[in-house]
């Protein structure tokens, strides 16, 4: 049987290895989950909420170990901490929303709609935000009375173990949560056989298509959060200092490895030069290096393969006429190969280039000058993706009006790259189907059940 292996981007060594679950082991875990869920769904919401709150408390106690562990697994600098602050915000929001989101809808005497749990929920989680993306489904699923099977990425396989450790510390009943080391083939088998009732996948478009194909005909419901090529538009009236700082963080944080990271920037010609100058200076100010060094602000990408794909995309754009504004000598840690990749700002780009069409998922932003709002919106919509889009302006009313015509699941005025736990997190076009967070996250892991009774 093969193993699941995490190779650290920090130094290329093997960080962790775990044996893949066999078919028999996977089937036993699902059977235990289904049996345990029959009791869990009958437990009062207060009891389920207490277990989730206990999980959060356990994660807070583990945070000191998790932060460097994440740096070793996927390269995020320790100066940013782990994901605890956002995890706490999301878990607390879902705990607060649960009573209303799961409450019966009364429609007069003897007429009621209740939310019942889907059953067994499979969470296929990515490495780039290994705790946040998984918790988006795990938490509402457990609060709603489901059992959960977690299949985490090989790159962050230790994160799955931390979930299991925290839920065990919280006293979650046996069988309700299981962390399984699954191959792609075994995951596809579980979906194809209809052994789970709902599955959520966060990852690439091709990965989403593979999940859809595996589940075809099983009637397993799916939530898919896929790729992005998220745009930002800087209007002529924008606060340029705020726009530079916000968009730079959206483009380069986590080495650009964010589903909702900013990859395309459209700048009104009236503020083109000052924005470009400020943005390039912001990129030059990053420090690339060892993520375990508190001074490092840009760590390695999660894999050398991912970094090489970004390098190829940048080089193709330069051959086609794009200009690179960040000098390599400022980033000696980038040797031209391997996972350590410098940030880059490109101008002279257009939508014939892959860097403006295809997901980059690295610390690179392409900038284009535009003459007016209409052209900016047209270019923002000229994409196969539609996860988020941001617009930077002092005129909030104009910003909201323009964003109404932008094809994206989440739109921002004067901010970007943030998931508000009270709002729906969703994408359009190739960026996904379904929603998580807010009340909408409970909809994915429950189904409505109606009661209509009358006196005999």
**What are the tens digits of pLDDT across the range 370-402?**
999 999 999 999 999 999 999 999 999 999 999
pLDDT tens, residue by residue, 34-81: 999 999 999 999 999 999 999 999 999 999 999 999 999 999 999 999
**How far is it, in rounded angstroms, from Cα 266 to Cα 261?**
15
pLDDT tens, residue by residue, 133-154: 999 999 999 999 999 999 999 9
Q: How many CA atoms, within 13 angstroms, populate the side-chain half-sphere of residue 348?
A: 11
Task: Compute the Cα dihedral for 308, 430, 183, 174 and give only its sign.
Answer: positive
Mean pLDDT, rounded, for 235-262: 97
> Range(s) for CATH 3.40.309.10 in the chain?
230-420
Q: Is 85 buried (19+), middle (13-18) or exposed (0-12) by CB count in 10 A?
A: exposed
pLDDT attached to residue 250: 98
Pick the catalytic residue from 69, 83, 186, 225: 225
In this model, does residue 160 exceed pLDDT 70? yes
pLDDT tens, residue by residue, 259-307: 999 999 999 999 999 999 999 999 999 999 999 999 999 999 999 999 9
Phi, psi torsion values for 224, nearest 5 degrees: -125, 120
Spell out the residues 6+ positions from residue 195 whose beta carbon is closer than 8 angstroms to its own. Answer: 27, 30, 120
- Contact of 18 with 181, CB cutoff 8 Å: yes
Q: How confident is the model at residue 120 (pLDDT cuts 50, 70, 90)?
A: very high
b/e per residue 181-204 (b: at least 16 CB within 10 A): bbbeebbbbbbeeebbbbbbbbbb
Say if pTM beats, i.e. exceeds, 0.95. yes
CATH class of segment(s) 3-226+431-452: alpha beta
**How far is it, in rounded angstroms, from Cα 126 to Cα 223?**
14
- Contact of 5 with 154, CB cutoff 8 Å: yes
Question: Hey, which residues does 18 pair with through a beta bridge?
Answer: 4
**How far is it, in rounded angstroms, from Cα 137 to Cα 176?**
14
For residue 21, give the DSSP letter: P
The helix-helix angle for 373-381 and 396-403 (nearest 10°) equals 40
For domain 230-420, which architecture applies?
3-Layer(aba) Sandwich (3.40)
- Contact of 32 with 176, CB cutoff 8 Å: no
Pick the catalytic residue from 6, 69, 186, 259: 259
Phi, psi torsion values for 447, nearest 5 degrees: -135, 150
In 186-261, the DSSP E strands lie at 198-202, 221-225, 230-234
Write the Ramachandran bin of 279: left for phi over 0, alpha for psi from -120 to 50, otherwise beta. alpha
**Structure tokens given for 260:** 């909702």
High-pLDDT (> 70) share of the chain, %? 100
Listed residue (445, 449, 447) closest to 222, CA to CA: 445
- The residue with tokens 């935000």 is 129
Q: Parallel, antiparallel, or unpaired: how do β-strands 147-151 and 177-180 relate? A: parallel
For residue 22, give the DSSP letter: P
Mean pLDDT, rounded, for 218-244: 97
For 88, 314, 439, the CA distances from 158, given in Å and listed in that order, are 20, 32, 30
DSSP 235-249: -TTS-HHHHHHHHHH
> Range(s) for CATH 3.40.605.10 in the chain?
3-226+431-452
- Whole-number mean pLDDT of the chain? 97
225 carries an active-site annotation: yes
pLDDT attached to residue 1: 53
Mean pLDDT, rounded, for 413-435: 96
Q: Where are the alpha helices (DSSP H) in 10-44?
A: 23-40
Task: Compute the Cα dihedral for 82, 203, 322, 339 and give only its sign.
Answer: positive
374 carries an active-site annotation: no
pLDDT attached to residue 2: 85
Mean pLDDT, rounded, for 175-186: 98
pLDDT tens, residue by residue, 404-423: 999 999 999 999 989 999 99
- Contact of 435 with 424, CB cutoff 8 Å: yes
**Structure tokens given for 2:** 């093969």
In this model, does residue 455 exceed pLDDT 90? no
Q: What is the separation, in whole angstroms, between the first and last Cα of the chain?
A: 62
**Structure tokens given for 6:** 């995490």
Question: Hey, which residues does 452 pair with through a beta bridge?
Answer: 111
Mean pLDDT, rounded, for 188-192: 98
**How far is it, in rounded angstroms, from Cα 267 to Cα 252?**
18
- Contact of 137 with 198, CB cutoff 8 Å: no
In this model, does residue 456 exceed pLDDT 80? no
């Amino acid at each position: 049987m093969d193993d699941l292996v995490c190779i650290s981007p920090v130094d290329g060594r093997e960080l962790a290895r775990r044996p893949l679950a066999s078919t028999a082991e996977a089937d036993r875990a699902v059977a235990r989950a289904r049996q345990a869920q029959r009791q869990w769904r009958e437990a009062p919401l207060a009891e389920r909420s207490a277990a989730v709150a206990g999980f959060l408390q356990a994660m807070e106690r583990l945070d000191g170990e998790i932060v460097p562990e994440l740096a070793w697994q996927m390269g995020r600098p320790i100066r940013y901490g782990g994901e605890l602050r956002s995890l706490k915000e999301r878990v607390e929001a879902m705990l607060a929303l649960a009573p209303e989101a799961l409450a019966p809808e009364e429609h007069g005497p003897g007429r009621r709609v209740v939310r019942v749990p889907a059953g067994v929920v499979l969470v296929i989680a990515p490495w780039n935000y290994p705790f946040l993306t998984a918790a988006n489904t795990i938490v509402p699923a457990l609060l709603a009375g489901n059992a959960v099977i977690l299949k985490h990425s090989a790159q962050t396989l230790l994160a799955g173990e931390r979930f299991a450790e925290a839920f065990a510390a919280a006293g979650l009943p046996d069988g309700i949560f299981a962390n399984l080391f699954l191959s792609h083939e075994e995951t596809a088998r579980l979906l194809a056989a209809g052994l789970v009732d709902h599955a959520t996948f966060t990852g690439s478009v091709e990965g989403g298509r593979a999940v859809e194909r595996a589940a075809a005909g099983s009637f397993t419901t799916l939530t898919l959060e896929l790729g992005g090529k998220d745009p930002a538009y800087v209007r002529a009236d924008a606060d340029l200092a705020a726009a530079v700082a916000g968009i730079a963080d959206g483009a380069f944080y986590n080495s650009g490895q964010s589903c909702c990271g900013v990859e395309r920037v459209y700048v009104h010609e009236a503020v083109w030069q000052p924005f470009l100058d400020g943005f390039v200076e912001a990129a030059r100010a990053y420090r690339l290096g060892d993520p375990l060094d508190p001074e490092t602000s840009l760590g390695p990408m999660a894999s050398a393969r991912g970094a090489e794909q970004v390098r190829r995309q940048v080089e193709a754009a330069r051959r086609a006429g794009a200009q690179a504004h960040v000098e390599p000598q400022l980033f000696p840690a980038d040797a031209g190969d391997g996972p350590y990749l410098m940030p880059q700002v490109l101008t002279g780009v257009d939508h014939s280039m892959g860097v403006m069409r295809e997901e980059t998922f690295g610390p690179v932003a392409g900038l284009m000058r535009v003459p007016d709002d209409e052209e900016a919106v047209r270019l923002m919509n000229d994409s196969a993706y539609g996860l988020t889009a941001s617009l930077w302006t002092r005129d909030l009313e104009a910003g909201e009006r323009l964003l109404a015509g932008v094809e994206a699941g989440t739109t921002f005025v004067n901010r970007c790259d943030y998931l508000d736990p009270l709002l729906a997190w969703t994408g359009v076009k190739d960026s996904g189907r379904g929603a998580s967070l807010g009340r909408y996250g409970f909809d994915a892991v429950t189904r409505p059940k109606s009661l209509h009774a009358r006196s005999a």
